Amino acid sequence: MVVLAVALLLPSLTAPAQARQPSAHRDPGNGAERNTVAATGAPARALAAVAGENRRSGGQEGYPRQTRLRVFPEDPGDKAIKLGLLPYHALAPKLNALQQRSDRVSAEVIGQTTQGRDLYLVTVTAPESPAQARQQDRWRELIENNPVAAARDPRLARQYKAPVWINANIHGDEWEGTDGAMRVIADLATTTDPDEIGLLRRTRIHVTVTNNPDGRVAGTRANGAGFDVNRDHITSSQPESRAVRDVLIDTQPLVMLDEHGYTGTTLIEPATPPHGQNYEYDLYIKHAYANALGMEKAIGELGHPETTRADIPFRDYAPGDWDDWPPIFTPMYAVYHGAVGHTVEVPLRVNRGEYTGQPVEELRRRSAVNTDVAAATITAGVAYTDAHRRELIADQIELFRRGWAGEPQRDIPDGYVPGFGEEDRYQVEFPRAYVIPAGTAQRSAPAAARLVDHLVANDVRVRRAEHPFRLAGRTYPAGSYVVDMHQPKRGLANVILADGKDISADVPQMYDISGWSHRLLWGASVDISHAEAPTVRTTPVVAASPTGAVSGPAGHPLALTLTDGKDVQAVNALLAEGVPLSRRSDGTVVVPAVARRQAIELAQRYGVRFTRAPAGGPGTPLHGPVVAAAASADELAVLRELGFTVHPVSTQALNDGFSLDGIDVLYVSSGLNHGQLTPDAKSRLAEFLTRGGVVTRGSTGAAFNAATGLLPVTAVAGRGDANGVVTVTNGAGPVGAGSPGHTFVYSPLWFTDLGAGVSAEQRYAAKDPLVAGHWLPSAGGNGPAQAAGEAAVVSGVADAGARTVLFGTEPLFRAHPKGLFAQVARALYWSTVR
């Protein structure tokens, strides 16, 4: 089947009038099938994108836009009930009643959670006719697409309704943001105060009342799949993060608040250094600091002894204590879309040990205070937006104007806001363009397509070259993708595609991860042009071109190289259909000629490329391994996404009699302590190690290897909080061969004293392996200099017989480094060979 990419049919557009791509073409999930995404319903939506129509409504509706929400059955086990807070099942009835009562309230469903609960977006604003709503949409589009014209439009300055976005309860066991938001919604829906009614004529307040319903009900920080949604932005592996990503892009807020808890004293960002180097920080900090002061004043007026002041990290914390460096957090991600983003942490802990240890009366007292704080910060944030509406609009326009113009970031003087100094200066020189090559220069066509779709989903402009071109001394074929950095959201484009920065010397510690790079970790070849953009004719991309193909002649075996996770999915799908596959010494998977029909179907589904198998024997039979995994939720999710049959296991499960019969590979990275196993469990495990394979990751895996005496190596640990993108050299073995030249580490390990029969599949680069991140030496050394040249991944056959692979890296971390997934799959396949 041949599928034509719609973008090739569109006329070329001239910046900055190009409309942004429609939400219908955002990747519905990183595990989505490649060609289905590219092919479904594209023409009308692509033309709508060029026309600049509103993403959600098509500009056809005014406000209110009311939906009768489905009501979920009462759940007496909802953890919010004990706190005197709203259970999830009460939200839809309350919102339905408010919609019936008030024409200022609109509720809609923006997606479903991993467990099937609805995600709600509530908009509170004065009624608008369809014509008025269309005008608001046109102004919002003009601000991003033609900021010079927007700045000159006097009607826009007077009449554009300032969008504010409130995100609540992204961590499920931090409940009160939902209740505070619902209070504000109800108050504004029913108020008769002329000032508040006037505010709603000048603003649109958008509220995702709970971003994590599954976690809210269960009382867990993570969502139903075990992911921390507030670490998933820039990766978008979860439906909850994708839903609010689209809300953010659709509404283009001037200000956003993300309501969390619990820090003892209310915490309100702006944050400490390091500050994201791709921000237009001068436009952010002047509003963020002033707005934080206003929110602090509002909670002080509540009269509670616990709310007399707030912690504002920029003002009150040391560098690195509460930073805004990575784009994984919702407010930090929002900054790249033009919002002044704040995390707000309500003060009094009611979760975890406090939830079970405190009397109900005390928990409810604390929750009532926290709800007051959430409502007060929301009200104050909205009031700041209204009071500074014109300046906020002008500054969002300016942010996008700088992007289109390709202007350098501004130098910010000391004292620009109180306390601003040299330690706050983080800037970057933006390249002129990125190129994602087509053809033979591309390492992985499926990886390139995934990256392009991800960029488009995040509202980064990508264009496809209609003809071959030369750029920065290289020649690129037609069909190559260009990310021209003269675009409104250049900061977001760069935060996705740049290498990042080694900030180890800048701050003593970091709050969370410090390095990420889709260019280096997602498996696609991406080139940088620092000084020039191509002059070739291009067309805007709404979805990457299909990449699947079967090029071998009929009647001959086919080959598939395991370069990307999509290749692994295709292999596992063939194995699930009973197709006899084999694996050659170079890692190539050979598909028999009789399975050509299945290969064609999978090439279309996953975008992979089957070629004619080279001459020679078929290789070793390949079987689909059944995996018992003592692993984190993100690793379990990736292994299942890749198509492996996975059974979770743990110390307790083995002690309870978990059977290893039928298991081919034991994957160990967390939750399995050999020393805590019963004698019977140890005996059954020892028997397994005579016939099964083992793949481990991290310190838990290294400890398991030592306890079971599998591979004779010494594991050396770097500092526990060290993390980032590192350069590696790959060996020719079955796991390292074909892996990217970069990987990700968190609490990095390396292996020394490699005994007989142990091979280094991958080594840290011999000099300066850390590319981006934060990795300081511990007291005994063990920094990047000590890891340089040492083995990061090793393999070997244990005396007991188990084929074993040990990872000192983090190839599945939070489902993010997608270019590394195939390396883990190769380890699993190799470890099952007998």
Nearest C-alpha neighbor of 575 from the set 632, 643, 633: 643
Q: What SS3 class is residue 103?
A: coil
Q: How far apart are CA 311 and CA 323, in angstroms?
A: 13
User: Which residue is associated with the tokens 């970031």?
Assistant: 409
Tokens of 445: 């066509």
Is the CATH number 3.40.50.880 carried by domain 626-831?
Answer: yes
Q: Phi/psi zone of residue 29: left (φ > 0), alpha (ψ -120 to 50 degrees), beta?
A: left
Give the whole-angstrom CA distance, residue 520 versus residue 443: 12
CA of 611: how far to CAs of 437, 579, 585, in Å? 20, 17, 17
Q: What gap in Å lies between CA 282 and CA 416, rounded to an integer? A: 8
Listed residue (76, 63, 321) closest to 189, CA to CA: 63
Residue written as tokens 């000590």? 786
Residue 308 contacts residue 266 (beta carbons within 8 Å): no
Burial letters for 279-311: b for 16+ Cβ neighbours within 10 Å, e otherwise? bbbbbbbbbbbbbbbbbbebbeebebebbeebb
Nearest to 287 by CA among 162, 170, 175, 191: 162
- From 782, 785, 755, select the one nearest 768 (Cα to Cα): 785
Alpha carbons 485 and 403: distance in angstroms, whole number: 7
Contact partners, residue 763, CB within 8 Å, separation at least 6: 728, 729, 731, 789, 790, 791, 792
Chain centroid, CA 516 distance in Å = 10
Nearest to 119 by CA among 205, 248, 247, 255: 247
pTM of the complete model:
0.93
Determine whether 429 is exposed, middle or buried from the number of CB atoms within 10 Å of its CB (0-12, 13-18, 19+): exposed
What is the rounded distance in angstroms from the CA atom of residue 734 to the CA atom of residue 738?
Answer: 9
Q: Are 808 and 735 in contact (CB under 8 A)?
A: no
DSSP-assigned letters across all residues of 253-310: -SEEEEEEE--SS-EE---EEEEPTTS-HHHHHHHHHHHHHHHHHHHHTT--GGGS--
496: which residues sit within 8 A by CB, 6+ positions away?
234, 454, 455, 458, 460, 518, 519
Determine whether 648 is exposed, middle or buried from the number of CB atoms within 10 Å of its CB (0-12, 13-18, 19+).
middle
* Total Cβ atoms within 10 A of residue 440: 7
Would the CA dihedral through 262, 264, 265, 269 be positive or negative?
Answer: negative
Six token digits for residue 684: 């059954």
131 φ, ψ to 5°? -65, -40
Helices (H) and strands (E) in the chain, counts: 27, 34
Query: Tokens at residue 513, please?
Result: 């991860």
Name the residue type at position 495.
V
Domain with CATH 3.30.70 in the chain: 549-622
Find out whether 92 and 69 touch, Cβ atoms under 8 Å.
Answer: yes
Element (H, E) at 93: helix 88-101
Taking CA atoms, 551 is separated from 143, 396, 671, in Å, by 47, 49, 45
Domain with CATH 3.40.630.10 in the chain: 73-405
The secondary structure of residue 339, as a DSSP letter, is -
First to last CA, the chain: 38
Using alpha carbons only, what angle is made at residue 174 by residues 170 and 177, rounded to the nearest 5 degrees?
Answer: 75
Instruction: Out of 53, 345, 635, 761, pick the active-site residue.
Output: 345
Extract the tokens encoding 441: 């220069």
Backbone angles phi, psi at 334, to 5 degrees: -65, -30
What span, in angstroms and rounded, lies between the C-alpha atoms of 183 and 375?
A: 7
Question: What is the dihedral sign for C-alpha 820, 826, 832, 834?
Answer: negative
Strand partners, 539: 464
- Contact assessment for residue 484 and residue 251, using Cβ atoms and an 8 Å cutoff: no
Pairing of the two strands 527-529 and 433-436:
antiparallel
CA–CA distance, 764 with 616 (Å, rounded to integer)? 34
pLDDT of residue 581: 96
Per the annotation, the verdict on 391 as an active-site residue is no
- CB-CB contact of 277 with 426 (8 Å): yes
Is the distance from CB of 487 to CB of 463 less than 8 angstroms?
Answer: no
Rounded to the nearest 10 degrees, how much is the dihedral formed by the CA atoms of 396, 401, 402, 403?
A: 100
Residue 258 contacts residue 342 (beta carbons within 8 Å)? yes
Residue 623: alpha-carbon gap to chain centroid: 32
Architecture of 549-622 per CATH? 2-Layer Sandwich (3.30)
- Count the alpha carbons within 13 Å of 772 in the hemisphere toward its beta carbon: 24
* Residue 227 · residue 138 · CB < 8 Å: no
DSSP state of 586: T
User: For 751-791, what is the HEC assignment?
Assistant: EECCCCCCEEEEEECCCCCEEEEECCCECCECCHHHHCCCE
Q: What is the pLDDT of residues 630-677, one digit of tens each?
A: 999 999 999 999 999 999 999 999 999 999 999 999 999 999 999 999
DSSP-assigned beta bridge partners for residue 591: 558
Burial of 716 (C-beta count, 10 Å sphere; 0-12/13-18/19+): buried
Question: What tokens were used for 624?
Answer: 């689909």
CB atoms within 10 A of CB 688: 21
Whole-angstrom Cα distance, residue 316 to residue 812? 35
Q: Which amino acid is at 63?
A: Y
Q: What kind and span of H or E run contains 145?
A: helix 130-145
By residue count, the chain amounts to 834
Q: Given this model, what pLDDT does residue 638 score? A: 98
Residues of the chain with pLDDT under 50: 1-59
Superfamily assignment of 73-405 in CATH?
Answer: Zn peptidases (3.40.630.10)
Residues of the chain with CATH 3.40.50.880: 626-831
User: Is 553 within 8 Å of 515 (Cβ atoms)?
Assistant: no
Amino acid 618: pLDDT: 74
pLDDT of residue 712: 98
Q: Which helix (H) or strand (E) holds 796?
A: strand 791-797
- Residue given tokens 């000099």 in the structure block: 767
Candidates 420, 531, 522; CA nearest to 486 is 531
Is cis: bond before 262, omega within 30 of 0? yes
Residue with tokens 């706050």: 424
